[in-house]
Structure 1
Amino acid sequence: MHDTIDTPVLIVGGGPTGLTASRLLSNLRIPHVLVERRNEPQKAPAAHVINRRTMEIFRQAGMDMDAIYALDRHGDHPLAIRWKASLNSPTLATLVLDSTTDSNSPSRESTANISQSLLETQLLVEARRSSVGELQFGHEWVGFVDGDKARNLIRSPDGTTYVVKSAYTLAADGAGSPIRQALGVTKTGPQNVATFLSLSCAVDRSIVDDTAHELLTWCLDPKFSGVVITHDPASLSVVMRQIHEPHESLNDYSEATCQALLTDLFGKDTPFTLLNRSAWQMTAQVADRFRNENVFLVGDAAHRFPPTGGLGLNSGVADVHNLIWKIRAHLKGAPDDLLDTYEAERMPVVQRNCDASLKNFLRMDEVIAAIGLDSEKASLPARILAAPIIRHLPQSLRTRLIDLLTAPARAVLKEAGEQTDTGERKRRTIQQAADRQMPHFDMPELELGYTYPSGVAIAAGAGQRYPHTCAGTHVQTSILERFSYDGYTLLTGAAPDTSLSFETFGLSIEQLADPALGLNAGDWVLVRPDGHIADQSARR
């Protein structure tokens, strides 16, 4: 007989999505248990773009925003994207990302470049501020007991097992989601868009070149043919390059091979330490269902996109922001149809995010083409080296062969970087192609402008996030900060209207009357706990 723990909500997974869910539940005083098979937050940098909507959600959740923004090791430096042949070669094109906020900005928040490892550590601190939730790291979800989705078998660090009985289970257990697999939920979309080598390095970028505060530096010399992601200019960068399967695999990139590649990239006089070497598959998939009875797929368990756009982690945070208040309403007697709106509302949004991320990845080839390179030939060295007759050649001959094959590409890159009329013309063409990539890095319509479809919790013509407007005279305050996650907010003009009545699923409703809202007499807007408009007067 297993010991049994009863809890309203079980969260499986202690990444950003699961920890955000824990904090939101705690704010609503809903007891819950979180289990995470790892013993601590992950150490790999992983995702790094934390967008404005996620920051708005963190602020509404009462998190320490100064501490979160401080995790951005670039500080106030503007972030940029550069295309170069190598780190110490001339810049071929640059995109500068504007993260400043003013009275015309669509949010008071700014996008931050924060390593997921740092963010997870801070979110764990935030989740532990409350005693409402029980957080169990080193505890692994094993399966449903006798197929009962309300009874979950959990393995503790010492190998013993116990049962968690929950009214609701949130599967925040990652891309490989054992819960999703146990439910038999399939995914739609390409499983392997590309495979990448990922090398985490302790390195001071300021020693290497003048792009220490660049977010991404695309290095296009065939020796590197990848991107350097600067997580911390003083101490941490991640180098990624494509593994051209089936001609090569991670086994072809031994630690010695990676050390040599990084020495060429950073320069032989630059000290660095290879912290982690791994391979990962880029996918573009969305689960076919987000809900199965009392089990809800959230975050990477429900969807996984290419990182081109930085929408993955942020979509997971938005998932639980959409869901948790509905669970509270359901606990208070709201109809089951309200829980169905989680899938109905979030699935179209994440599908658009997935499609846009894949499109962004494929569009990056436009810059390669503008340089004069053929992306289809990028796998040529790997294909040739994979040939049995070539594999048996001495390493010196193989290196010489690849140098000969890639010489034309290096010549093209060299010409593009030269201070000549031809070089300047080419760089103008390359810059134009780079400028067309800006939607890849600035997507307010996907980040802030998505609209939920009408249904049980959304009236026709509503569903959008209430727009940020400055509250008072200070640009760094927003009307969004006056919306409580604990209930609905009714916005009116000069005076509260006590004659209005709405369906709020048993949740409280607070009237906010403020002439600064710009509402005419008799106009009103009903805002849900997650900041999306539930209904509004026809005249608005």
Structure 2
Amino acid sequence: MSEKIDVHVPVLIVGGGGAGLTSSILLSRLGVPSLLVTRYPGTTNLPRGHILNQHSMEILTDMGVTPEIRAKGAPPENMRGVAWYSGLAGGGPEDAHGRLLGFVEAWGGGYTDPDYIAASPEAIANLSLLRTEPMLKAHAESYAEATVRFNHELVGLEQDADGVTSTILDRGTGETYTVRSSYLLGADAGRTVGELAGIKVTMHERIRKLVSLYLSMDLSQYLPGDDSILTWVFNPEYPEHLDFGAVLVPQGPERWDRHSEEWLLAVSRPDLDASQPELMLQWASEALGIPDLDPEIISVSEWHLERFLIDDFRAGRVFMVGDAAHRVPPSGGLGLNSAIQDVYNLCWKLAAVLAGRAGDGLLDTYTVERRPVNLNNIETSTKSVGGQMTMASSLGVSPSKSAEENWAELRKFWDDDVPGAAERRHEFNEWLGESTLEYHQHNVDFGYTYDSAAVVGDGSPAPVSPDEIRLYQPSTRPGHPLPHAWVERSGKRLALRELIHGGHFALIAGEKGQAWVEAAEKIAQEREIPLRAARVGLGKNVDYIDIRLAWQRNRAISPEGAILVRPDGYIAFRSIEAADDALSTLTAVFNQVLATPGQED
């Protein structure tokens, strides 16, 4: 190649948001050098992407970031659920202001729901990218393997059979330089990489326009509750706002109850115009029912609920992650979580291929595994948005009714003497039950499965859940996430999934599965595969004690059996019983999973 190359690096990451920074950290922890460039001068100034579900928190724990997120995020008691209130002040009957209309537990009810506790060692977190991106940036910059350059923009991209040549513009100096990488990760929300790489779009649909106002204000005198992640407000005084209401999200940074110092406020009207912040504030005041609302406006942003999905997450040596590959309506909080889980799936595979432990075919499984998951996320979130469209009618309010008529409908929620009160409350209770599609989507958040060449099926039937969206059922069937169990060794308790931390495979055998352990360790040593092997159960000569019998409840293997867990926590192989030749069996398993069919024991 005659063109001068200024930088050589195994992986170039384009984009410095949640997906890009997470990629940088994961690759560094796997020993893979990378360069991250982003056209923006700094991290986001908008409080978006605030829900971090259990699976994402497990990943962030593996990355070493969780303690800071827990320290700065909402305490569990301030994120039990989602609440609906009548207009908070202003016109209408004085006894009707700030009345609780309904409440539903959300995302595990502040880690009190037994299903969520049993599923994972991690509770959800509530902290927006406004706070988490600077943390991620600092972590990324702390690794010797990583170079992070903000205010640097990708302006050209060419790839060949051996790598990718990218042209980068230093927006500060106006100079360009060339980067040669083995692979490129597009984490730029589809702004540049997709077009340059010739990515085809399957789906792009805008559903609704909203405006979010990031405000500093004191709402403590208006809000009676302290335990809501989201607060919906419906103010009958201004019927034109009643088809959507207003949504309040506390932003801390010190308090996360009704005394939160900062708030995100979302409103929706057909004539929204974010270029007129004072008008937006007027509409926000009307939607909340606080006529003298006078906050500090930190920022105003206009955005769309949208559905977006590309055909293939891989284009040669270019891989698309996060919003560059898919965009999900925000209902359910799946956008940022999908991005984090994309790169957790991809980065261990890149590291294995770059180290020569795996063949290129392993990288093809990224699209095969992640695209169906993200399509399901889009479909689930779209259903949730559809449910939001019927929220007002379930409350009995409508833009077509007068303020007096709408107040009379809401009075049914606290005044038993109003005719039809019990019936109206039950109708909204039914709607709240349906809203668990958004606020209790545990199987979508956590229980999704993979089916690809990197999973060795065992012919067993897939478990059938009574509710494929809401109910997660742990299973060790290949392609499922490793079930959670607390185990102990030498008096120290740890989550079983910690065996995969740092990019390790985990061979987990039954009490009499020493042959599996020895075979796995032999293969790992010969092929330089990062792996931890252990017998887990009860009795003598086990490596980890199943002290609560949580593993026994879900493992579905005999004392002679074993499972192999991939570095992303997904089960690659299961043998319920002993094998005639554990070494040959595992050799074939690793050959399939790592796309190295020519290697023999």
Aligned 8 A contact 1:215 1:231 in 2:
no
1:19 aligns with 2:24: no
CA distance in 2, matches of 1:194, 1:60: 36
Residue of structure 1 in register with 2:264 after alignment:
238
After TM superposition, the structure 1 = structure 2 runs for residues 49-64 of structure 1, keeping only pairs within 5 Å, are 49-63=51-65
Q: 1:146, CA displacement in angstroms?
A: 8.5
1:43 aligns with 2:45: yes
* SS of match in other structure, 2:329: coil
Gaps of 5+ in 2: 89-96, 459-476, 538-545, 579-601
Q: 1:20, CA displacement in angstroms?
A: 1.0
Gaps of 5+ in 1: 381-403
1:152 aligns with 2:174: no
1:195 aligns with 2:212: no
Q: 1:410, CA displacement in angstroms?
A: 4.5
* SS of match in other structure, 1:158: coil
The alpha-carbon distance between structure 1 residues 153 and 503, as it changes in their structure 2 partners (threshold 3 A), is farther
Residue of structure 2 in register with 1:386 after alignment:
none
After TM superposition, the structure 1 = structure 2 runs for residues 512-527 of structure 1, keeping only pairs within 5 Å, are 512-515=534-537, 516=546, 517-518=551-552, 519-527=557-565
The alpha-carbon distance between structure 1 residues 466 and 44, as it changes in their structure 2 partners (threshold 3 A), is same
Q: 1:73, CA displacement in angstroms?
A: 3.4
CA distance in 1, matches of 2:454, 2:145: 30
Name whichever of 21-30 and 408-417 sits farther off: 408-417
Residue of structure 1 in register with 2:179 after alignment:
164
Residue of structure 2 in register with 1:278 after alignment:
301
CA distance in 2, matches of 1:254, 1:511: 61
- Residue 283 of structure 1 aligns to which amino acid in structure 2? E
Residue number among 485, 491, 505 corresponding to 1:469 in the alignment = 485
Q: 1:111, CA displacement in angstroms?
A: 0.8
Name whichever of 52-61 and 495-504 sits farther off: 495-504
* SS of match in other structure, 2:323: helix
Residue number among 139, 142, 155 corresponding to 1:129 in the alignment = 142
CA distance in 1, matches of 2:406, 2:231: 18
Aligned 8 A contact 2:484 2:495 in 1:
yes
1:412 aligns with 2:409: yes
* SS of match in other structure, 2:331: coil
The alpha-carbon distance between structure 1 residues 119 and 476, as it changes in their structure 2 partners (threshold 3 A), is farther
Residue number among 474, 496, 499 corresponding to 2:514 in the alignment = 496
CA distance in 1, matches of 2:324, 2:456: 26
CA distance in 2, matches of 1:407, 1:95: 27
After TM superposition, the structure 1 = structure 2 runs for residues 112-511 of structure 1, keeping only pairs within 5 Å, are 112-145=125-158, 150-156=164-170, 157-174=172-189, 176-221=190-235, 222=239, 224=241, 225-232=245-252, 233=256, 234-244=260-270, 248-250=271-273, 254-264=276-286, 265=288, 267-268=290-291, 271-333=294-356, 334-373=358-397, 408-422=405-419, 423-460=421-458, 462-472=478-488, 477-494=494-511, 496-497=514-515, 500=519, 507-511=529-533
- Residue 391 of structure 2 aligns to which amino acid in structure 1? V
Aligned 8 A contact 2:168 2:176 in 1:
yes
Aligned 8 A contact 1:2 1:161 in 2:
no
* SS of match in other structure, 1:306: coil
1:110 aligns with 2:123: yes
Aligned 8 A contact 1:208 1:270 in 2:
no
- Residue 339 of structure 1 aligns to which amino acid in structure 2? L
Q: 1:215, CA displacement in angstroms?
A: 1.5
The alpha-carbon distance between structure 1 residues 249 and 99, as it changes in their structure 2 partners (threshold 3 A), is closer
Name whichever of 332-341 and 472-481 sits farther off: 472-481
Aligned 8 A contact 1:92 1:431 in 2:
no
Aligned 8 A contact 2:74 2:126 in 1:
yes
Residue of structure 2 in register with 1:100 after alignment:
111
Q: 1:266, CA displacement in angstroms?
A: 6.4
After TM superposition, the structure 1 = structure 2 runs for residues 68-79 of structure 1, keeping only pairs within 5 Å, are 68-74=69-75, 76-79=77-80
Aligned 8 A contact 2:273 2:302 in 1:
yes
Q: 1:230, CA displacement in angstroms?
A: 2.1
CA distance in 2, matches of 1:429, 1:241: 25
- Residue 410 of structure 2 aligns to which amino acid in structure 1? L
CA distance in 1, matches of 2:185, 2:480: 25
* SS of match in other structure, 2:501: coil
Q: 1:2, CA displacement in angstroms?
A: 5.8
Aligned 8 A contact 1:496 1:511 in 2:
no
Residue identity over aligned pairs, in percent, reads 28
The alpha-carbon distance between structure 1 residues 506 and 303, as it changes in their structure 2 partners (threshold 3 A), is farther
Aligned 8 A contact 2:455 2:478 in 1:
no
* SS of match in other structure, 1:34: strand
Alignment deviations for residues 12-43 of structure 1 (CA, whole Å, 9 cap, x no partner)? 11111111111111111111100111111111
- TM-score normalised by L of structure 2: 0.78
CA distance in 1, matches of 2:302, 2:503: 42
Residue of structure 1 in register with 2:566 after alignment:
528
- Residue 68 of structure 2 aligns to which amino acid in structure 1? A
What is the CA RMSD across the aligned residues, in angstroms?
Answer: 2.7
- Residue 149 of structure 2 aligns to which amino acid in structure 1? Q
The alpha-carbon distance between structure 1 residues 419 and 405, as it changes in their structure 2 partners (threshold 3 A), is closer
The alpha-carbon distance between structure 1 residues 93 and 257, as it changes in their structure 2 partners (threshold 3 A), is same
CA distance in 1, matches of 2:528, 2:379: 36
- TM-score normalised by L of structure 1: 0.87
CA distance in 2, matches of 1:321, 1:61: 10
* SS of match in other structure, 1:283: strand
Name whichever of 36-45 and 466-475 sits farther off: 466-475
4+ residue stretches of structure 1 with deviation over 6 A? 146-149, 473-476, 502-505
- Residue 481 of structure 1 aligns to which amino acid in structure 2? E
Q: 1:110, CA displacement in angstroms?
A: 0.5
Name whichever of 159-168 and 104-113 sits farther off: 104-113
User: Number of paired residues?
Assistant: 507
Q: 1:441, CA displacement in angstroms?
A: 0.9
Q: 1:163, CA displacement in angstroms?
A: 0.9
The alpha-carbon distance between structure 1 residues 6 and 457, as it changes in their structure 2 partners (threshold 3 A), is farther
Aligned 8 A contact 2:86 2:234 in 1:
yes
Q: 1:277, CA displacement in angstroms?
A: 1.6
The alpha-carbon distance between structure 1 residues 85 and 110, as it changes in their structure 2 partners (threshold 3 A), is same
Alignment deviations for residues 410-465 of structure 1 (CA, whole Å, 9 cap, x no partner)? 44334545453433442232123212212311222111111100424443451111
CA distance in 2, matches of 1:369, 1:267: 23
